[in-house]
Amino acid sequence: MTQKNGLSTAYAGTLITMVSLFTGLSLLIGGKVADTFGRKKVILLFQGLAAVVFIICGFLKPNIFLVYFIMAAPILNAMAQPAQDAMIIDLTEPEKRREAFSLLYMGHNLGFAIGPIIGGILYRSHLPLVFIGDGLTTIASLILLALYVKETMKSDEEKIENQERVLERSEKGSVFSVLLKRPILLYFALIMFAYQFSYSQWGFALPLQLGDIYGVFGGTNYGILGGINGIIVICLTPVIVRLTHSIKPLFVMAFGGLMYAIAFGSFSFVKTMPLFIIFIIIMTIGEISISVNGSAFVANHTPASHRGRVNAAIQLIFGAGSAISPMIMGKYVTAKSIPAGWMLIGTLMIISCSFMFLLGKMDKPLEVKEENINNLAN
């Protein structure tokens, strides 16, 4: 927006904020249509449209119309996200969901490690190929989905009868009524709001801090830490999932929050790269523990009839934490200092992981009798 199209930083920031707002709306709409028309149709339609939009971007010259098309793509992609999450839940039993989400988490991070490298190489002299490549790889993934994955949404006649999955049985009513019957999901979402608020500083305060310490080499060092983060995710995700398989998801997430608290709080005094690397490894262990178990927890407490909508609502609350964090912490570190900001984040994470642990103590096992469902919800 700024380098290729000449927009001001302020105007570009405004447009990005607009994308965030529309993306939140897209999540809610996508959740509703995924629960109404099916997962596969929604993914093929909206990710297909996003791919077409990206390919069109490859044939546009840098101007404001290119900017608008770039903004449209993530909004369309967001429409498909609840359907993707719901499809994974449809395809898995509760005892295998952490493994399933860990596999997807590793695949996502592998792509996230490779994609920016290719994009960075092409950006300066071959920008159209960035968009065309993105569109074509998305279409390739959709072809695989169309050929090898059947629609996973069950009909009303195919109800979940497993006594151990009573919380997943279909219900009538809106997503709000479902969440009110399961307040533990709302408590979880609020705690995760704080988790995401804190985690987003990895992409905001840390680059600023490295720039202050290392000057022009700050960006390079941040890239090194990002690479280490990706490597640790790929290497340790299977190990952590294996070691924590028999532990309740919320307890594992409380441990992950503690790792965040240690890492982020320690950034307040760290000034050397070896220490930054050590605490990034600790942070990444926390990230793995939280990412894999959070999706499984939500899945195991959501009716099959509302999987798309509940996932969309939960993601919207998560995303709000990430969205407002840079603005709030930007003002705070300007008034105080970056180390003071890390101390605040570390304290917030100690409080948040304590609440997550308490929520785990409140969460009763899924092996409950049907007549106890109301007590469990309350």
pLDDT digits (tens, 9 = 90+) for 198-241: 998 998 889 889 988 988 788 788 888 888 888 899 899 999 99
**Residue 367: its pLDDT value, please?**
42
| Contact yes or no for 291/241 (Cβ under 8 A) | no
Q: Residue 156 has what pLDDT?
A: 46
Whole-angstrom distance, CA of residue 106 vs CA of residue 3: 32
- Of 196, 233, 182, the residue nearest 364 (C-alpha): 182
To the nearest 10 degrees (0 to 180), the angle between helices 307-335 and 183-199 is 40
Q: How far apart are CA 94 and CA 301, in angstroms?
A: 10
Domain boundary assignment for the chain: 1-149, 174-378
Give the chain's residues under pLDDT 50.
156-158, 366-378
CA dihedral sign of residues 122, 123, 128, 130: positive
pLDDT digits (tens, 9 = 90+) for 245-274: 889 999 999 999 999 999 999 999 999 999
Segment 129-145, tens digit of pLDDT: 989 999 999 999 999 99
State the pTM of this model: 0.80
Please return the burial class of 291, using the count of CB atoms within 10 Å of its CB with bins 0-12, 13-18 and 19+: buried
Class of the domain covering 174-378: mainly alpha
Whether the CB-CB separation of 310 and 298 falls below 8 Å is answered with yes
**DSSP letters for 84-126:** HHHHHHHH--GGGHHHHHHHHHHHHHHHHHHHHHHHHHHHTT-
* Whole-number pLDDT of residue 9: 61
Question: Does the fold of domain 174-378 match that of domain 1-149?
Answer: yes
Do residues 179 and 185 make contact, with C-beta atoms less than 8 angstroms apart? Answer: yes
Distances, alpha carbon 76 to alpha carbons 86, 138, 141, 252, in Å: 17, 13, 16, 33
> Closest by alpha carbon to 187, among 365, 305, 362, 368?
362
Return the pLDDT at 370: 41
Q: Alpha-carbon dihedral of residues 199, 187, 312, 91, nearest 10 degrees?
A: 100
Neighbours of 16 (CB within 10 A): 12
What pLDDT score was predicted for residue 160?
58
136 vs 70, 83, 120, 142, 143, CA distance in Å?
15, 21, 18, 10, 11
CA triplet 144, 298, 279: central angle to 5 degrees? 90
CA 15: distance to chain centroid?
Answer: 21
Contacts of 358 (CB under 8 A, 6+ apart): none
- How high is the pLDDT of residue 79? 93
**What dotted CATH number matches 1-149?**
1.20.1250.20
**Can you give the three-state secondary structure of 183-221, one letter per residue?**
HHHHHHHHHHHHHHHHHHHHCCHHHHHHHHHHHHHHHHH
* Axis crossing angle, helix 205-214 with helix 338-362, rounded to the nearest 10: 150
Tokens of 63: 């101007």
Residue with tokens 């290497």: 235
Alpha-carbon torsion 141, 76, 154, 312, what sign?
Answer: positive
Q: How many CB atoms lie within 10 A of CB 139?
A: 15
